[in-house]
Amino acid sequence: MLKKHPMPLPPEVPMKPVEAVSLVEPEPVSLHHRPYEDVQALLTGTLFVALGIVMFGHTGLLTGGTAGIAFLIHYATGWNFGLVFFLINLPFYGLAWQRMGRAFTFKTFMAVGLLSVFVNLLPTLVSFQNLSTPFAAVMGGLLMGTGMLMLFRHRASLGGFNVLVLYLQERFGWRAGKIQMGLDCVIVLSSFALVDWQHVALSVLGAVMLNQTLATNHRVGRYMTL
């Protein structure tokens, strides 16, 4: 008779320990900016914009928005730019309060106030002995666009048309940068009575650099930390 051999047992598979399942839901991560982050953005953003405005003013350029209107009044009358800019923005706070909320209005008011101070303060801290006008148009536009982008990301603006375009973007989904670019070009082109065509052309270039920065980097629905 044939001797039966016992069947070999399959190798034991090591069992992985069962991980304990927590019944407590993790706390959601807040996507909103903290107060100190808002303060930092307001200071940095307005400082960037103020430096761009100082470069524009030094080379006789103009920009759009209420800052452009303030430039036109400043060039025509010699009145203080910072004060004119602050006063022009006062009527827009009503729209900001009704449509954009109390926090947005407060931060916008602070940003406009800081910009008015920085525009008057910076010429005492920095001076330009050799500043090319085309370079000022490009670099000043980029500085202003970047500074406004910081403010937009923290639910603030520089008042005036900024309030209007942000409202239109949130209400209808229209791109803030493109709307702002159209308004800015209209204001700059209206300055032919005060400056020559070369400065108008370079001012348009500066407005394009500013608003292209916004149109490229600030799109509705893309950034969740607003």
Q: What is the pLDDT of residue 5?
A: 55
Domain coordinates of the chain in residue numbers?
Answer: 35-217
Q: What is the pLDDT of residue 6?
A: 58
CB-CB contact of 68 with 188 (8 Å): yes
Q: What is the pLDDT of residue 182?
A: 81
Other Cβ atoms closer than 10 A to 202: 25
Distance between CA atoms of residues 138 and 58, nearest Å: 14
Q: Distance from CA of residue 169 to its chain's centroid?
A: 14
Q: What is the pLDDT of residue 95?
A: 76
Kindly give the parts of the chain with pLDDT less than 70.
1-31, 218-226
How does pLDDT run across 133-188, given as a tens digit for each residue?
Answer: 999 999 999 999 999 999 988 888 887 777 777 778 877 878 777 787 788 778 87
Q: Is 44 exposed, middle or buried (0-12, 13-18, 19+ CB in 10 A)?
A: middle
pTM strictly above 0.85: no
Phi/psi-derived region of residue 157, left when phi > 0, alpha when psi is between -120 and 50, beta in every other case: beta
Q: What is the pLDDT of residue 218?
A: 65
